[in-house]
Structure 1
């Protein structure tokens, strides 16, 4: 029995060029839609909001000359036309996670380019079913009609800085730290437990900006430690412009409860450690701080 991929390839081969092009466009639109739903699985209404304001997509190779190690490699773009500034900001905030989700759908791009939809393009809605769902949610005929009710804000999840949201920023930092998303994904899937503990002892934290110590658990602690030794500073640097200040990364061996789990699943929000684990990690972080103070006082 042939695979689904083989069946689709055979179907494309049997179509004339115009029909094959239309089928590829439909496939890419579906992959993009699935990727948005996956990336914003923590709030399906936000996913529908983003899709309802998506007016067009294109996929192409960027043929402009490039420098560095990637100068001889193909560079592929996904262009997205969006008619709402809040939706554009939300896509931009999670663009690395969206690229990772797209790669898992079989749609590999090196860069997402976000454009404002203008003039007649605003009238074209690529995902009308999402427009309808948003309209029903608002209780009005059209999703963008003035109704006295507000579209649910895409950034409402930031109302509370809970662990899942903080760890999502960690995931984005990992995606930015490696040469490609496949490398980042392979590392993230080996992290079985994760938590960010605020380091209240920090002088910098007293200025109003919270600083955190990132704790990671893995069954093969030595291999994960080697990765963090090599890329930890890069992850910390990539997290900073995303608004997350990390002072250090600690790697622990997973206990029996954590073995076989995944702190950063391919779909949905990251899974934070339970409160008991966080309490233990907070105690550990404070002990580390006390050790640092003692060394400073004694000159050791």
Structure 2
């Protein structure tokens, strides 16, 4: 267990599974070819646990997350199969209406790597966060919920910031707005897909600090999708290493760094430039 997680809420092996994925397959039809983007992935996650999925671009890590959350883009599928259980409920067989209800009511959320691609440039920040907040209550209670979420993710002067547009914010501020939107439904599970891509080192650290603090305060399970082993060292209890659509190794974070069992895992570790930053987030 890394230093940060030992100072917060720890997931233990006797806790029930929040997410249980078995033999997940996502095969895409591209022209005359079948691309096995995800090819037999098994994955488990417990309440309050932070898990990393790592691998180079094209390894299948983001497709795995999108498949689990049923947020796949409109592509030609040759196969989409397996067993995905969230709190014991079958996600793969769930009707779209029930899936939308689950996302809006404490199920799971996702943070994407390109905030500008997902934030509406014509709407104020407060309106976009407010749309993700429960529709119960009056406009003032929703405004207060928006301000509270902005405070929670460490953005100052929440009332003023809620009136601004995405282009008026820095990259790090936009990413924290995305975190606020993802937190609005009070999810039990949060997926963060390359949450610090294209941010400078200082801003990366601020975003990671926000994720780490919120995960501990809410006892929320988090899946970090990244190619950066430094991020994994800072945040994650366990790691799944993916290569060509398959999980080739899974281990506790400390064990992976100390004794990687697969040559590809060792290569990723050797290429990482930030392997011992854990104490910076304590």
- TM-score scaled to structure 1, two decimals? 0.25
- TM-score scaled to structure 2, two decimals? 0.26
**Higher radius of gyration, 1 or 2:** 1
Structure having greater relative contact order (Cα 8 Å, sep ≥ 6): 2
